[in-house]
Each structure stands twice: as C-alpha cells, then as structure tokens.
Amino acid sequence: EPVPASPWKGVYNATTFADDCLQYSYVTYNKDRPIYGSEDCLYVNVFTPMTTPTTRRTRLLEVLVFIHGGGFMFSKESVYGPQYLLDRDIVLVTISYRLGALGFLSTEDDILPGNNGMKDQVLALKWVKQNIPAFGGNPNIVTISGLSAGGASVHYHMLSPLSRGLFTKAISSSGSALCPWTQVENAREKTMKIANYLGCPTDESFLMVECLQDRPASRIVGATRLFMPWLYNPSSPFSVVIEPPGPSAFISEQPIDIILQKKAQNVPYLIAINADEGLYPGGEILESPKLIEEIDTKWNEYLPFLLDYNYTAAEGQMDLISNEIREFYLGDSKVNDSKQAFIKMIGDRMFYAEIIRTAKLHAEYYNAPVYSYLFSYKRSRRENLFELSSIYDGNGHGNDVGYVLRTTNMSLEGNATDMTLSKRMIDYWITFMKGVSMPKRWPTVNENLPYFGFLEIQNPDKKYDIIRFETDYGNEQFWDSLNLNENIPDLHTSMEEELSYENLQILESNIRIKAETSADNHTEENHKN
C-alpha cells in the first residue's frame, strides 16, 4: 500500500511532468511501445492562477482534482493540461496512480487485498486536503472529477470509507462504479496465472507474492496480454476488487449494496456521457476490414470479451446471450452494414446503461442534487479523445473533457467555434463546483424520476441546448433481461436491514405504549423509565 513521501528541504523543481506509471498501453499514441513507464510515478501536479502570497492568504480558491482514465490500465499524464482553465479562479490538481497488475493485482486475502491504485488516489486526495492551502486552494471546497476509469474512480470514492471527508462534490464523465469493466472477476485466479507464467509458486499467497516481488515489474506488466484474447479485450482485466473487511480496505461491499444501503457520500454529483461512447473501442474495429470480418464470423467467440460478460453470463448461456445481443442490435445485418447500431451496442453495454442507473439510484436514495448532460456536439474535424475514425463521424468516449482540459489528442486552438464551446463547458463545471444555481432549464435527475432527465449539449450556442427525459436511453431494460451476474443487490443484507427497521419500529411502538401506561400510573419508577 502507498505511504506518504518524505519531506524535502529547499526548492523542488516541479515545472515538468513526472514519468508515466509503468503500463501495458494499447492506445493510438503508444502502440509501437506497449510496455513503458516507470515505477517512480506517484506524483501530484498542481496548477494555479498567477497569485501573490497575500492573495493566497486572503481568498482561497475552489479546487478541481482530475483523475485520468484508461481502463485502470494505461495513461499518459501529459495528455491533460490546464491551459483552458488558467484564466479562471480555481486550482487544478491532476494525480497519477499505479495501473494494471501493479495497481490492482489481488490474492483476495490479507496478503495482497488489492486496490493499491485506488489507495494511491486516496493518498493523493489526503495530500490535497493537507497541503492545497499553500497553493491558494480551499481544502473545504474540493471537487473530484474524472474521465472513463477516472469517472468510475470518482464514483468509487463516493462509496469508499477511506475517501470520506476528502471532497465536497463529484463529476464523473463516461464512467461509474457500476460499469461492467470497473470491477475485476476471479482476481486471485489471475494473480496465480501471472505467477505461474513467471515461474512462481501459486499454493500460498505469501510465497506467491514474495516471488512476484522478485520478478522485474516490466515482466509482470507484460503478462497483461495473457488476459486479452481478442484485440485488447476485455479492456480492463485488472481493476477494482472487493476486499476483505478491515480498516485499510478501500471497498469491502458491492457498489450496488453501498448505494442502496445509503452508505455512499451524499454530495452533489454531475454525471456526463457522450453521444457515441461506443467509438471506444468500436472505432478501431470499424477501421479494419480484418477486425470486422473477425467479429462478424466469430461473434459468439469474441463478443463476450468485447462487451466484458465472459465471467458474468450464466453457465451454458454465453452463446444464447451473444445471439440475443446480435438480434437486438443488428438483426440479420452484418457489422459493416450496421455501423451505428454496432457503436450503440458497445456504448449501451459498456457505458450508458450503468451510468444512467448510477445517476437514477443516487437521485432516488440521496437528497444531494444529481445533474447529467449528454455531449453530442460534432466537430468539424474527425478527432476523438480516445479514437480517430475516418469512417464513422461521431462524438466519442470522453470528448466532453477535451473541452474542459486541454488534451494532446484533441486540438481546439485555431477553431473559434470549438473555443466558444470550451468556455461554456468550463462555465458549467465551475458553476457546479462553486455550488451556485445551474442554468434554470437544466433539471436535476432527482426531480424527474423515474425518467432520466438531462441536458443535451449539441451546439456552442446555449440556445440550442435541449432538455430531454428518457426512460430507456441505454436500452437498460434489454440488458437487465439478460440476467448477467452483475449489480445484483445482496438480498440477505437487504432483508436484514428491513427486519432491523421493522424491529426498530416495534421497539419504538413498545416504548410509546409503555410510556403512555407509565404516565397513566403516575409512578416514580415509570417516570424514571
């Protein structure tokens, strides 16, 4: 688990990014060198407006912490920059965390419980809480935000007891803790597979972990390919695991149970989705005739990995489920003839259905406001934050964040229309951060249940914003009908809570009856009771 860095004396040169965390990267910007990075990577980047020491003492600014995405597997720290935010009165903090096997390997016991990557994030948030006043930031007004796995991380921090009190608002873009790729299955089995691959014993957790610690970190990271049978899918073979209960556990209950038991942090929540989330990873598939042919002809073999239900389909039902998905989205068509439906299928499964469920559950079970927006603006250039597609013109996974933070994958400079929209997106985020009223026409999700109410941002001019109310935007009903073993509440826990509540009501009733009887008898003993 992470420990705080030792203090230093003198001036620290913090003008450049540190090394990226060691990772197995499969995205466009690093395909020629999939294993790269350093184990010395846990740094916090702080960006502040130009202020004097006097100004910092007299007015502390709101703080925005951003957590990068990458499926808990990859990241390039320098992708996200502060340039669009520098003229606003906020302090921006970006953080890094261990990735893939190095951040999320687990033996599912107290030897290696897992979630070290998430605990890295917690330590970074604690650092912000303790030190951000020195940079002009207000430790009591901290909004955590994130994209994709970062958006899911934000949601996990709302659910984790370790993160309680470290932030006051939350923004998740293109990810939540209920998405199918955010929680690892068979964690111990995967650790044993890596250990066996690297010549380590697998019978006892202690000996297995001790041996793995002696192996080069790059070889452990390189073993990632063992868990990606097709292309780079499943895209997140290592992610959050449910730990054994204990004081250092990041999360020890299923996210759905924490939400339903009202144990999550009750903070204002902004949840964002993009119009064509399924372009990641669908865009790359549609670019390649070879990959299109593979998924078309080996649908039942590859789809469970692409859509991440290879562990959660009921035994003997995998092919049936795969066929039902094809019939629902494509019918009798081939993938090449149904590009839009193919992208929608990926988007619904990997993002929309569970992100929308997250928004509605928090709106139903908590009283803090929940807002949501759909970012559907199509740029004049076919650029997306995660994928470039010359075939399908859409608004891809996480694109909205590219209008708030400057990214190397999406260039807005030189395009007045894009920059106008960027200023408005930043206005929306900062308005939410500061806790002032959102635009009057923007409804909360809370006030429109059971509908999913959200703002659609489709044009730089806000007069074209649309208020929408949907009942099944992500085809949630279809995905629920497949009965995958995911996000199923613990009925035993729910029943215990219900019985406890009923018993409490009975106890209160008995107390009232006894008190009334005592009052009638006017005895000193009953009065004391």
The 10s digit of each residue's pLDDT in 421-470 is 999 999 999 999 998 888 878 999 999 999 999 999 999 999 899 999 99
265 Cβ contact list (under 8 Å, min separation 6): 157, 158, 159, 163, 164, 167, 170
Q: Domain check: are 392 and 497 in the same one?
A: no
Report the C-alpha gap between 416 and 426 in whole angstroms: 15
Q: Which residues of 261-285 are buried (b: 16+ CB within 10 A; e: fewer)?
A: eebbbebbbbbbbbbbbbbbbbbbb
Q: Domain check: are 171 and 155 in the same one?
A: yes
pLDDT of residue 528: 34
Q: Domain check: are 425 and 474 in the same one?
A: yes
3-state secondary structure 155-197: HHHHHCHHHCCCCCEEEEECCCCCCHHHECCCHHHHHHHHHHH
What value does the CA radius of gyration of the chain take, rounded to a whole number of Å? 25
* Residue 405 lies inside a defined structural domain of this protein: yes
Q: Which residues are catalytic?
A: 148, 277, 397
Q: Domain check: are 417 and 521 in the same one?
A: no
Percent of the chain with pLDDT over 90: 71
pLDDT of residue 231: 87
pLDDT of residue 403: 93
Q: Which helix (H) or strand (E) holds 95?
A: strand 90-95
How far is the first Cα of the chain from the last one, in angstroms, to the nearest whole number? 50
Backbone angles phi, psi at 235, to 5 degrees: -75, -20
Contact (CB, 8 A) for 384 and 282: no
Report the C-alpha gap between 61 and 359 in whole angstroms: 28
Contact (CB, 8 A) for 173 and 400: yes
Nearest Cα to Cα of residue 455 among 357, 388, 371, 330: 371
Q: Domain check: are 375 and 504 in the same one?
A: no
Looking up tokens 């709101």 gives 62
pLDDT of residue 521: 39
pLDDT of residue 491: 64
Tally of domains in the chain: 2
> At 261, which CATH number?
3.40.50.1820
Q: Domain check: are 285 and 423 in the same one?
A: yes
Q: Domain check: are 521 and 476 in the same one?
A: no
Q: Domain check: are 55 and 78 in the same one?
A: yes
pTM of this prediction? 0.90
pLDDT of residue 503: 39
Q: Which helix (H) or strand (E) holds 81?
A: strand 80-81
Q: Domain check: are 254 and 215 in the same one?
A: yes
Report the C-alpha gap between 478 and 480 in whole angstroms: 5
Low-confidence ranges of the chain (pLDDT < 50): 28-30, 494-529
* Residue 17 lies inside a defined structural domain of this protein: no
* Residue 9 lies inside a defined structural domain of this protein: no
Query: 471, exposed or middle or buried, with CB in 10 Å at 0-12, 13-18, 19+?
Result: exposed
For residue 502, what are the domain limits? 493-528
